[in-house]
Amino acid sequence: MTSMPSTYLVSFAVGDERAAKDIVDALTEIFFEGQAAIAAFERPDGRWDVTVHFAEPPDQPLLRELVTKTAGANIAAGIVFDTVEARDWVKASLEDLIPVPAGRFIVHGQHDRERIAPNKIGIEIEAALAFGTGHHGTTRGCLLLLDHVLKNWRPRRVLDLGTGTGVLAIAAARALHEQVLASDIDPPSVQVARDNARLNVAGHLVQAIRATGFAAPQFADAAPFDLVLANILANPLRQLAAPMARHLAPGALVILSGLLTPQARGVIAAYRARGLVPLRHLRIEGWSSLLLRKVN
């Protein structure tokens, strides 16, 4: 009998929500999608537990240094490193997650598959080493803005840039019954997105590719895009403003997230300089999601 593959668990507690958000943001900046699954949960006593799962043994000195700089030496001293079977933590994490509604969309795990109302679009996402289970404020913000957009408009050429688990691409494909191009720089995330698309009966609609920025030929083939969804991070979003604008159709809409609310102003400025104006700004759990339109 072959043994179950192990994952590596790093856990520690911080004093409040602000500290938890700071450390999650710092860890997200350091580790690429696919390297780590990062989560923070409030405890009954008001403190927050931060957990990070790695597929490979983590660099312990690096993690202690990062937590020390972000949250202080006392917090870093409380870091616990452990090894667990992958199936154990996946199952446990799913049992703790509840379905997340976002307009017509509901992101859920397998255990809630039968509870989704027939008038909702259920997106089943299992825990995996890729960002975006729907339980993060940025993913929910994007889904709410997507639902808002689709109430009055039907884009034909859609791109999900930095797709992670594929939630946004699947949501757009299921709602529109149209082809959606999805990309990610991380090969495991691309495979996760493909698997999730098949699981949600959208495998024939979602084309998931590995790409950095807009360099892959598939972007030129599919452009100009009517709608782009990009739930990544503030710095990459600013850097992508110019190439994204070149791949947009006149009047195209763009949904951006993955940025803390204080970072929104800088991202908006970068896109305004490229001819995109903000239409809506959602703030959820300290994170911002933006809807912008390309003007002539």
Q: What digits encode the pLDDT tens for the residues 178-214?
A: 999 999 988 888 998 999 999 999 999 999 999 999 9
Provide CATH 3.30.70.120 ranges for the chain.
Answer: 6-93
Rounded CA-CA distance 139/169 in Å is 11
Q: What is the pLDDT of residue 55?
A: 76
**pLDDT-derived band of residue 90, with 50, 70 and 90 as boundaries?**
very low
pLDDT greater than 50 at residue 243 = yes
Residue 11 neighbours by CB under 8 Å, 6+ apart: 49, 50, 51, 52, 79, 80, 82
Cα atoms in the Cβ-side hemisphere of radius 13 Å centred on 62: 7
CATH of domain 138-294: 3.40.50.150
H/E segment holding residue 296 = none
Q: What is the pLDDT of residue 97?
A: 57
Provide CATH 3.40.50.150 ranges for the chain.
Answer: 138-294
pLDDT greater than 80 at residue 30 = no
**pLDDT-derived band of residue 87, with 50, 70 and 90 as boundaries?**
very low
**pLDDT-derived band of residue 26, with 50, 70 and 90 as boundaries?**
confident
- Helix, strand, or coil (residue 247): coil
For the segment(s) 6-93, the CATH number from 3.20.20.70, 3.30.70.120, 3.40.1190.10, 1.10.3720.10 is 3.30.70.120
Rounded CA-CA distance 230/239 in Å is 12
Q: What is the pLDDT of residue 248?
A: 98
**pLDDT-derived band of residue 129, with 50, 70 and 90 as boundaries?**
very low
- What value does the mean pLDDT take over residues 2-21? 77
Pairing outcome for strands 225-231 and 206-210: unpaired
